[in-house]
Amino acid sequence: MSTSRAAPSLELSPVVAGLWRLTEWDLDVRARIRWIEQALALGITTFDHADIYGDYRAESLFGEALQAAPALRERMQLVSKCGIRLRSTQRPYRVKHYDTSAAYVRAQVEQSLRDLRTEQLDLLLIHRPDYLMDAAALAETFAALTREGKVAHWGVSNHSASQFALLHQHHPLVTHQLELSSLALHALDDGTLDQAQALGLRPMVWSPLGGGRLFHGDDAQALRVRETMTPIAARLGISLATLAYAWILRHPSRPHPITGSGRIAGLREAVAALDVTLDAEDWYAIWTASKGHPVP
Protein backbone atom coordinates (compact mmCIF):
# COMPACT_ATOMS: atom_id res chain seq x y z
CA MET A 1 0.00 0.00 0.00
CA SER A 2 1.25 3.48 -0.84
CA THR A 3 1.83 5.64 2.22
CA SER A 4 3.03 8.81 0.49
CA ARG A 5 0.72 11.77 0.93
CA ALA A 6 2.35 13.93 -1.75
CA ALA A 7 0.15 13.75 -4.83
CA PRO A 8 2.14 13.45 -8.06
CA SER A 9 2.00 16.41 -10.40
CA LEU A 10 -0.50 16.51 -13.27
CA GLU A 11 -1.22 19.54 -15.44
CA LEU A 12 -4.67 19.62 -17.06
CA SER A 13 -5.76 22.34 -19.44
CA PRO A 14 -7.88 25.07 -17.78
CA VAL A 15 -10.89 23.91 -19.82
CA VAL A 16 -11.41 20.19 -20.45
CA ALA A 17 -13.17 18.69 -23.47
CA GLY A 18 -15.86 16.20 -22.47
CA LEU A 19 -16.57 13.25 -24.78
CA TRP A 20 -19.73 11.92 -23.13
CA ARG A 21 -21.83 12.51 -26.25
CA LEU A 22 -19.20 11.75 -28.89
CA THR A 23 -21.30 8.94 -30.36
CA GLU A 24 -24.13 11.43 -30.98
CA TRP A 25 -21.99 13.92 -32.92
CA ASP A 26 -22.01 11.80 -36.10
CA LEU A 27 -18.40 12.60 -37.05
CA ASP A 28 -16.36 10.41 -39.35
CA VAL A 29 -12.70 9.78 -38.53
CA ARG A 30 -11.47 12.80 -40.48
CA ALA A 31 -14.00 15.06 -38.76
CA ARG A 32 -12.99 13.67 -35.35
CA ILE A 33 -9.34 14.45 -36.09
CA ARG A 34 -10.27 17.97 -37.18
CA TRP A 35 -12.34 18.48 -34.01
CA ILE A 36 -9.42 17.38 -31.82
CA GLU A 37 -7.03 19.67 -33.71
CA GLN A 38 -9.38 22.63 -33.27
CA ALA A 39 -9.72 21.91 -29.54
CA LEU A 40 -5.94 21.76 -29.18
CA ALA A 41 -5.60 25.05 -31.07
CA LEU A 42 -7.85 26.65 -28.44
CA GLY A 43 -5.57 25.43 -25.66
CA ILE A 44 -7.86 22.54 -24.67
CA THR A 45 -5.40 19.67 -24.26
CA THR A 46 -7.30 17.47 -21.79
CA PHE A 47 -9.98 15.06 -23.05
CA ASP A 48 -12.40 13.48 -20.60
CA HIS A 49 -13.75 9.97 -21.28
CA ALA A 50 -15.37 7.09 -19.41
CA ASP A 51 -15.56 3.43 -20.31
CA ILE A 52 -19.38 3.53 -20.38
CA TYR A 53 -19.82 6.65 -22.53
CA GLY A 54 -21.83 6.03 -25.68
CA ASP A 55 -22.86 2.59 -24.46
CA TYR A 56 -19.19 1.58 -24.21
CA ARG A 57 -18.41 2.93 -27.72
CA ALA A 58 -17.15 6.52 -27.34
CA GLU A 59 -13.57 5.67 -26.42
CA SER A 60 -13.11 3.51 -29.48
CA LEU A 61 -14.32 6.36 -31.74
CA PHE A 62 -11.76 8.70 -30.22
CA GLY A 63 -9.13 5.99 -30.45
CA GLU A 64 -9.77 5.58 -34.17
CA ALA A 65 -8.86 9.26 -34.60
CA LEU A 66 -5.65 8.81 -32.60
CA GLN A 67 -4.77 5.73 -34.62
CA ALA A 68 -5.21 7.70 -37.86
CA ALA A 69 -3.24 10.70 -36.51
CA PRO A 70 -0.91 9.27 -33.83
CA ALA A 71 1.09 12.49 -33.39
CA LEU A 72 -1.95 14.01 -31.63
CA ARG A 73 -1.44 11.77 -28.58
CA GLU A 74 1.71 13.61 -27.47
CA ARG A 75 -0.20 16.89 -27.37
CA MET A 76 -2.95 15.84 -24.97
CA GLN A 77 -3.87 14.36 -21.62
CA LEU A 78 -6.31 11.44 -21.71
CA VAL A 79 -8.69 11.04 -18.77
CA SER A 80 -11.02 8.10 -18.31
CA LYS A 81 -13.27 6.66 -15.63
CA CYS A 82 -14.43 3.22 -14.59
CA GLY A 83 -16.34 1.52 -11.80
CA ILE A 84 -19.91 1.55 -13.16
CA ARG A 85 -21.27 -1.70 -14.53
CA LEU A 86 -23.89 -0.28 -16.90
CA ARG A 87 -26.64 -2.61 -18.08
CA SER A 88 -26.90 -2.57 -21.87
CA THR A 89 -27.21 -4.90 -24.81
CA GLN A 90 -23.42 -5.14 -24.65
CA ARG A 91 -23.38 -5.91 -20.92
CA PRO A 92 -26.55 -7.77 -19.82
CA TYR A 93 -25.97 -7.46 -16.07
CA ARG A 94 -28.94 -8.28 -13.84
CA VAL A 95 -28.76 -4.79 -12.36
CA LYS A 96 -26.68 -1.65 -12.88
CA HIS A 97 -24.14 -1.52 -10.09
CA TYR A 98 -20.70 -0.32 -9.03
CA ASP A 99 -17.54 -2.41 -8.96
CA THR A 100 -14.10 -1.38 -7.71
CA SER A 101 -12.68 -4.88 -7.39
CA ALA A 102 -9.13 -5.37 -8.60
CA ALA A 103 -10.18 -7.62 -11.47
CA TYR A 104 -12.82 -5.22 -12.77
CA VAL A 105 -10.75 -2.03 -12.50
CA ARG A 106 -7.82 -3.72 -14.22
CA ALA A 107 -10.01 -5.13 -16.97
CA GLN A 108 -11.64 -1.76 -17.66
CA VAL A 109 -8.33 0.11 -17.65
CA GLU A 110 -6.89 -2.36 -20.13
CA GLN A 111 -10.01 -2.09 -22.31
CA SER A 112 -9.79 1.72 -22.28
CA LEU A 113 -6.13 1.50 -23.33
CA ARG A 114 -7.08 -0.74 -26.24
CA ASP A 115 -10.04 1.42 -27.26
CA LEU A 116 -8.09 4.70 -27.04
CA ARG A 117 -5.08 3.17 -28.82
CA THR A 118 -2.71 4.39 -26.15
CA GLU A 119 -0.21 2.79 -23.81
CA GLN A 120 -1.04 4.91 -20.79
CA LEU A 121 -3.92 6.90 -19.33
CA ASP A 122 -2.80 10.22 -17.88
CA LEU A 123 -5.61 10.10 -15.32
CA LEU A 124 -8.12 7.44 -14.28
CA LEU A 125 -11.08 8.28 -12.03
CA ILE A 126 -13.32 5.96 -10.06
CA HIS A 127 -16.61 7.05 -11.58
CA ARG A 128 -18.97 6.64 -8.61
CA PRO A 129 -18.51 5.66 -4.95
CA ASP A 130 -18.76 1.90 -4.62
CA TYR A 131 -20.38 1.12 -1.27
CA LEU A 132 -18.47 -2.18 -1.25
CA MET A 133 -15.12 -0.52 -1.96
CA ASP A 134 -12.17 -1.86 0.02
CA ALA A 135 -9.98 1.26 0.03
CA ALA A 136 -6.76 -0.57 0.87
CA ALA A 137 -7.31 -3.17 -1.83
CA LEU A 138 -8.23 -0.53 -4.42
CA ALA A 139 -5.07 1.40 -3.53
CA GLU A 140 -3.05 -1.76 -4.21
CA THR A 141 -4.70 -1.96 -7.64
CA PHE A 142 -3.80 1.70 -8.27
CA ALA A 143 -0.20 1.06 -7.27
CA ALA A 144 0.11 -2.02 -9.47
CA LEU A 145 -1.31 -0.32 -12.56
CA THR A 146 0.95 2.67 -11.94
CA ARG A 147 4.03 0.43 -11.66
CA GLU A 148 3.05 -1.21 -14.93
CA GLY A 149 2.88 2.19 -16.63
CA LYS A 150 -0.80 1.86 -17.53
CA VAL A 151 -2.12 4.79 -15.45
CA ALA A 152 -0.08 7.84 -14.44
CA HIS A 153 -2.47 9.51 -11.98
CA TRP A 154 -5.64 8.66 -10.06
CA GLY A 155 -8.72 10.49 -8.85
CA VAL A 156 -12.43 10.05 -8.21
CA SER A 157 -15.71 11.40 -9.47
CA ASN A 158 -18.98 12.07 -7.62
CA HIS A 159 -17.66 11.01 -4.20
CA SER A 160 -18.41 12.64 -0.87
CA ALA A 161 -15.64 14.43 0.99
CA SER A 162 -15.30 11.53 3.44
CA GLN A 163 -15.20 8.95 0.62
CA PHE A 164 -12.46 10.99 -1.07
CA ALA A 165 -10.52 11.19 2.19
CA LEU A 166 -10.79 7.45 2.80
CA LEU A 167 -9.21 6.56 -0.53
CA HIS A 168 -6.75 9.46 -0.48
CA GLN A 169 -5.26 8.22 2.81
CA HIS A 170 -4.37 4.94 1.07
CA HIS A 171 -3.20 6.34 -2.29
CA PRO A 172 -2.66 9.96 -3.39
CA LEU A 173 -5.45 11.30 -5.58
CA VAL A 174 -4.96 14.33 -7.83
CA THR A 175 -8.52 15.52 -8.48
CA HIS A 176 -12.21 15.11 -7.75
CA GLN A 177 -14.64 15.43 -10.64
CA LEU A 178 -17.99 16.72 -9.45
CA GLU A 179 -21.12 18.51 -10.61
CA LEU A 180 -21.30 22.29 -10.32
CA SER A 181 -23.26 24.90 -12.23
CA SER A 182 -25.46 27.90 -11.61
CA LEU A 183 -28.28 25.34 -11.42
CA ALA A 184 -26.50 22.74 -9.25
CA LEU A 185 -25.01 24.28 -6.11
CA HIS A 186 -24.63 21.32 -3.75
CA ALA A 187 -20.82 21.12 -4.11
CA LEU A 188 -20.62 24.58 -2.52
CA ASP A 189 -22.09 23.20 0.70
CA ASP A 190 -21.25 19.49 0.89
CA GLY A 191 -17.56 19.93 1.70
CA THR A 192 -16.11 18.62 -1.56
CA LEU A 193 -14.94 22.00 -2.86
CA ASP A 194 -13.69 22.95 0.62
CA GLN A 195 -11.67 19.74 0.66
CA ALA A 196 -10.25 20.38 -2.81
CA GLN A 197 -9.14 23.84 -1.76
CA ALA A 198 -7.66 22.59 1.50
CA LEU A 199 -5.63 19.92 -0.30
CA GLY A 200 -4.66 22.17 -3.20
CA LEU A 201 -6.17 19.70 -5.68
CA ARG A 202 -8.05 21.44 -8.47
CA PRO A 203 -11.46 19.82 -9.07
CA MET A 204 -12.95 18.96 -12.44
CA VAL A 205 -16.53 20.13 -13.01
CA TRP A 206 -19.09 18.28 -15.11
CA SER A 207 -22.33 19.69 -16.54
CA PRO A 208 -21.24 23.34 -16.15
CA LEU A 209 -24.22 24.46 -18.28
CA GLY A 210 -26.74 22.50 -16.25
CA GLY A 211 -27.22 19.89 -18.94
CA GLY A 212 -28.72 22.55 -21.24
CA ARG A 213 -31.34 23.64 -18.69
CA LEU A 214 -29.67 27.04 -18.50
CA PHE A 215 -30.79 27.75 -22.07
CA HIS A 216 -33.93 25.65 -22.48
CA GLY A 217 -35.27 24.84 -19.02
CA ASP A 218 -38.76 26.10 -18.26
CA ASP A 219 -38.78 25.21 -14.57
CA ALA A 220 -38.83 28.02 -12.03
CA GLN A 221 -35.15 27.76 -11.10
CA ALA A 222 -33.92 27.80 -14.70
CA LEU A 223 -36.15 30.76 -15.52
CA ARG A 224 -34.91 32.75 -12.52
CA VAL A 225 -31.27 32.07 -13.29
CA ARG A 226 -31.61 32.86 -16.99
CA GLU A 227 -33.45 36.10 -16.22
CA THR A 228 -30.67 37.17 -13.85
CA MET A 229 -27.75 36.06 -16.00
CA THR A 230 -28.93 37.54 -19.31
CA PRO A 231 -28.42 41.22 -18.38
CA ILE A 232 -25.11 40.45 -16.65
CA ALA A 233 -23.85 38.72 -19.79
CA ALA A 234 -25.02 41.64 -21.93
CA ARG A 235 -23.26 44.15 -19.66
CA LEU A 236 -20.03 42.16 -19.84
CA GLY A 237 -20.35 41.63 -23.60
CA ILE A 238 -20.22 37.84 -23.37
CA SER A 239 -22.57 34.96 -24.12
CA LEU A 240 -24.75 33.30 -21.50
CA ALA A 241 -22.61 30.16 -21.80
CA THR A 242 -19.39 32.09 -21.24
CA LEU A 243 -20.93 33.69 -18.15
CA ALA A 244 -21.91 30.24 -16.85
CA TYR A 245 -18.31 29.05 -17.20
CA ALA A 246 -16.97 32.26 -15.63
CA TRP A 247 -19.28 31.74 -12.63
CA ILE A 248 -17.65 28.35 -12.02
CA LEU A 249 -14.12 29.61 -12.64
CA ARG A 250 -14.63 32.34 -10.00
CA HIS A 251 -14.45 29.71 -7.23
CA PRO A 252 -11.09 29.75 -5.39
CA SER A 253 -10.65 25.97 -5.76
CA ARG A 254 -9.72 26.80 -9.39
CA PRO A 255 -11.99 24.26 -11.11
CA HIS A 256 -11.47 22.77 -14.55
CA PRO A 257 -14.89 22.98 -16.28
CA ILE A 258 -15.65 20.14 -18.70
CA THR A 259 -17.43 21.02 -21.93
CA GLY A 260 -20.07 18.76 -23.41
CA SER A 261 -20.47 20.28 -26.85
CA GLY A 262 -19.38 18.92 -30.20
CA ARG A 263 -19.52 22.44 -31.58
CA ILE A 264 -16.21 24.26 -31.76
CA ALA A 265 -18.18 27.45 -31.06
CA GLY A 266 -19.17 25.88 -27.74
CA LEU A 267 -15.52 25.25 -26.90
CA ARG A 268 -14.69 28.86 -27.77
CA GLU A 269 -17.39 30.10 -25.39
CA ALA A 270 -15.82 28.04 -22.60
CA VAL A 271 -12.28 29.26 -23.29
CA ALA A 272 -13.51 32.87 -23.46
CA ALA A 273 -14.50 32.60 -19.79
CA LEU A 274 -10.83 32.39 -18.83
CA ASP A 275 -10.60 36.12 -19.54
CA VAL A 276 -13.65 37.02 -17.43
CA THR A 277 -13.56 37.70 -13.68
CA LEU A 278 -16.92 38.20 -12.02
CA ASP A 279 -17.19 40.51 -9.06
CA ALA A 280 -18.72 39.10 -5.89
CA GLU A 281 -22.07 40.86 -6.39
CA ASP A 282 -22.61 39.35 -9.84
CA TRP A 283 -21.58 35.92 -8.54
CA TYR A 284 -23.96 36.15 -5.60
CA ALA A 285 -26.76 37.55 -7.75
CA ILE A 286 -26.62 34.33 -9.76
CA TRP A 287 -26.43 32.21 -6.59
CA THR A 288 -29.46 34.07 -5.20
CA ALA A 289 -31.45 33.49 -8.37
CA SER A 290 -30.60 29.78 -8.29
CA LYS A 291 -31.55 29.38 -4.64
CA GLY A 292 -34.64 31.55 -4.92
CA HIS A 293 -33.71 33.52 -1.79
CA PRO A 294 -30.89 35.81 -0.61
CA VAL A 295 -28.05 34.67 1.60
CA PRO A 296 -29.06 34.38 5.26
**Structural class in CATH, domain 16-216+240-275:** alpha beta
DSSP state of 293: S
Mean pLDDT value across the chain: 96
Check residue 9 and give its pLDDT.
79
Q: Please enumerate in sequence order all residues whose Cβ is within 8 A of that of 224, keeping only pairs 6 or more positions apart, or say none.
A: 289, 290, 292
Check residue 126 and give its pLDDT.
98
The pLDDT of residue 159 is above 80: yes
Q: Give the three-class secondary structure for 218.
A: coil
Q: CB of 91 within 8 A of CB of 61?
A: no
Give the integer Cα–Cα distance in Å for 211 and 35.
21
Overall size of the chain counted in residues: 296
What are the tens digits of pLDDT across the range 1-54? 343 344 457 999 999 999 999 999 999 999 999 999 999 999 999 999 999 999
What are the tens digits of pLDDT across the range 92-146? 999 999 999 999 999 999 999 999 999 999 999 999 999 999 999 999 999 999 9
The phi, psi pair for 235, rounded to 5°, reads: -65, -35
What does pTM read for this prediction? Answer: 0.95
CA distances from 20 to 40, 50, 212 (A): 18, 8, 14
The verdict on whether 104 is a catalytic residue reads no
What are the tens digits of pLDDT across the range 233-288? 999 999 999 999 999 999 999 999 999 999 999 999 999 999 999 999 999 999 99
What are the tens digits of pLDDT across the range 58-85? 999 999 999 999 999 999 999 999 999 9
Check residue 90 and give its pLDDT.
80
Q: Please enumerate in sequence order all residues whose Cβ is within 8 A of that of 205, keeping only pairs 6 or more positions apart, or say none.
A: 177, 178, 179, 180, 181, 248, 255, 256, 257, 258
Q: Please enumerate in sequence order all residues whose Cβ is within 8 A of that of 149, keeping only pairs 6 or more positions apart, or say none.
A: 119, 120
Q: Give the three-class secondary structure for 3.
A: coil
Show me where the domains of the chain are located: 16-216+240-275
Q: CB of 126 within 8 A of CB of 135?
A: no
